[in-house]
Structure 1
Amino acid sequence: MGNDFKSNLPHYIDGLIESYHENPISEKTTLNLPDKDEVIEIINDFEMLLFPQYSGNKKMDEATEKYIIGNMMQMVYQKLKKQLKLAFLYEYDRKNQKLMHSADERAESVCAEFFEQLPEIYRYLSMDIQAAFDGDPAAESKDQIVFSYPCITAISVHRIAHVFYKLGVPIIPRIMSEYAHSKTGIDIHPGATIGKYFFIDHGTGVVIGETTVIGDRVKIYQGVTLGALSTRKARALVNTKRHPTIEDNVTIYSGASVLGGETVIGKNSTIGGSAFITESVPEGSMVSVKRDELNIE
């Protein structure tokens, strides 16, 4: 076989198609999958709705806010309903479910429930921004935090995705969370439950697993993992509590790992950097790692 692409093209095509058929990822030949790019666009639209004056509507005031917000809501509703419908069609097809309600009806219902919760999402985010301002002496203003801190992007996307996750929307919440992960380096599963006034300082490398429960006024630093003890035989662990519970007023410093579904970090505790914790810690604890003495010659 020569090196000429054009003459070898039929061979390349046949080889790839044969590989598709020998190693199928899905049993279905046609998938009603949502459009990933459109879902990401929806996330950006929601960020504009939640923080309009930081996203191109700097002149919005009391005289114009209803008109501007109304237009944005209608625009994102049309996009969202279309992608939700595709997600529900995908779920019905994948599980061979009988259509109890049409995908269009479910999409409409989820849209209504989500927009009803949007003010509460904003209320939580305003407290997260306050937590970042109160917790970071380098922060010059809350405006700076909204405009530039990756933790606010990650937490904003999570609070949106978590609502869809709780409403039983397939695939879309994970698209949202992985978009935030790729953009910020902060990996929060949409199933994780996170309380008020939450702050991730620096953020790179943070992992928060699906069944994690985090209380109010928790602060974590870069490289923290709130994970599972083991993912061997992972399919047997579906729908089980695999990740830890972090109670109120806990600080976890960089590089610490807290693992296991039965692990509880009691309220008002501090977990030192690089700690590896697989069992519960009583409230009010100070956990640190005993290190060898640093030697400089």
Structure 2
Amino acid sequence: MDRISIIDQIKKHKKQPNLRYALKEKTEVFTNLLFYTLFDIDTEVEGNLSQLEEQFDGLVDLACWDVDKSCKAVWYNYVSKLPKILERLNLDAEATVNCDPASLSIEEVYMAYPGFYAIAIYRLAHELYLEGFPLVPRLMTEYAHRQTGVDINPGAQIGDSFHIDHGTGVVIGETAIIKNHVKIYQGVTLGGLYVAKHLQQTKRHPTIEDNVTIYANATILGGETVIGENSVIGGNAWLTASVPPNSTVFHTPEIKIKTAPNVS
């Protein structure tokens, strides 16, 4: 096959008219500037909001495929929510510094904790998700996922003072509901019982009530599964049914130790 034929074949199979990776790259730049604007003390706020609006306009040009919907109005609604988002994120940071004995300062939480960063990008993306802005919220949380190993769908509903410790391998599905003062550890999955396209509009992921702690590698599945308030879910537990309030759930593996005799 000659060069011209190869080019023609590639063009033939490029079938997605809206697939522009510039949207992904520009979303990452927007996300970084937004994060710094909210948290970094040396990053100016007023001028950055104008720059963010300009960047957002570029995202609109790439991602607003519905010509009958005014995506421009999304920015004005969104920016008015930023103070409240920041207030909630400060509560998340305080929850982390209060929960983790390894934390040396709250500044360390903001700068070095992957769980906090993932929560921050989730909260910033979630409000855009609620505005119905296509694709960008998903790109924002996937950017955080790549950096932290924490995969939070922007559609999830998460209450105040949320803490993720260590973070790597955490998965929180689109229809999960997490209430206030919840703590989860690495490897936790809040997922669906099974995957089928016809379930798209149904609640597929669990509800976690107030003051629940979920330890490493626990898996909780199903839209009807509710973990009652003040419960503790131990590491490696596998749950597909609800747990009453004030419960402790634990998995006890069988551990055998075989020691070789001393050989002289």
TM-score (normalised: structure 2): 0.92
Separation in structure 2 between the aligned mates of residue 32 and residue 199 of structure 1, nearest angstrom: 35
Q: 1:146 is aligned with what amino acid?
A: Y
Alpha-carbon contact 1:275-1:288 (below 8 Å) kept: yes
| Percent of residue pairs identical | 41
Q: 2:79 is aligned with what amino acid?
A: F
**Which residue of 2 is the match for residue 79 of structure 1?**
55
Matched, 1:45 2:23: no
**Which residue of 2 is the match for residue 218 of structure 1?**
182
Separation in structure 1 between the aligned mates of residue 57 and residue 200 of structure 2, nearest angstrom: 28
TM-aligned CA distance change 1:12 to 1:264, over 3 Å? farther
The SS at the match of 2:62 is helix
Q: How does 1:1-297 map to 2 (within 5 A)?
A: 11=2, 14-15=5-6, 17-18=8-9, 21=12, 25-26=15-16, 28=17, 35-53=23-41, 56-57=42-43, 68-89=44-65, 92=66, 99-101=67-69, 106-231=70-195, 234-297=196-259
**What CA deviation, in whole Å up to 9, does each residue of 1:183-219 have, x standing for no partner?**
1000000101110000000000000000000000000
Separation in structure 2 between the aligned mates of residue 230 and residue 15 of structure 1, nearest angstrom: 41
Tell me, which stretches of 5 or more residues in structure 2 are unaligned?
Answer: 260-264
Q: 1:292 is aligned with what amino acid?
A: E
Alpha-carbon contact 2:169-2:186 (below 8 Å) kept: yes
Tell me, which stretches of 5 or more residues in structure 1 are unaligned?
Answer: 1-9, 58-67, 93-98
Shift of 1:239: 1.2
Aligned residues: 259
Separation in structure 2 between the aligned mates of residue 13 and residue 289 of structure 1, nearest angstrom: 61
Separation in structure 2 between the aligned mates of residue 109 and residue 150 of structure 1, nearest angstrom: 32
TM-aligned CA distance change 1:82 to 1:253, over 3 Å? same
Alpha-carbon contact 2:154-2:174 (below 8 Å) kept: yes
TM-score (normalised: structure 1): 0.82
Q: 1:83 is aligned with what amino acid?
A: L
